[in-house]
Amino acid sequence: MTRLPPKKQKTHDAENEREGEAERRRAMAAAARDPVYRVVREQDRRSETRATSLRLCVRMLCVCMRKREKEAAKDVPHTLRVEKDEREREREREREREREREREAHIAADSV
């Protein structure tokens, strides 16, 4: 294939593209009249709609998950506080047990 000079090549390419576009339009118009094509096209539309609604569902799910994560993040300090309080209570109980053991040891030593 011989290459045309750049300017002529551009116009030649543009002409080919216009011809190709016109041919595609004619083929689409002929296919649109075909009943089988209409059914397939309708199924494509439905699947596109289904895919779009699926995308929306996934997007909404992601938004809900982010909201839950944010709410959970707000609750974290509270749960940490509760755990800290529980640890403090456990330490206090342990101290109380230790004091009780010391008292018992003193009582045992005094009785001997």
Local structure of residue 104 (DSSP, 8 states): H
Domain-embedded: residue 19: no
User: Domain count of the chain?
Assistant: 1
Local structure of residue 34 (DSSP, 8 states): S
Domain-embedded: residue 26: no
* HEC string for 53-91: HHHHHHHHHHHHHHHHHHHHHHHHHHHHHHHHHHHHHHH
Q: Residue 44 is part of which domain span?
A: 34-111
pLDDT tens for each residue of the chain, 112 residues long: 566 666 666 776 777 788 888 888 888 777 777 776 676 677 777 777 777 888 888 888 888 888 888 887 777 666 666 777 888 899 999 999 999 999 888 888 877 6
CB-based contact 49:41 (threshold 8 Å): no
Domain-embedded: residue 16: no
Domain-embedded: residue 54: yes
State pTM to two decimals: 0.31
Domain-embedded: residue 45: yes
Which candidate, 72, 92, 74, places its Cα nearest to that of 84? 92
Domain-embedded: residue 84: yes
Q: What is the dihedral of CA 58, 63, 69, 73, to 10 degrees?
A: 170
The pLDDT of residue 30 is 76
Domain-embedded: residue 4: no
Tokens describing residue 28: 């689409």
Q: Alpha-carbon distance 60 to 68, whole Å?
A: 12
Domain-embedded: residue 10: no
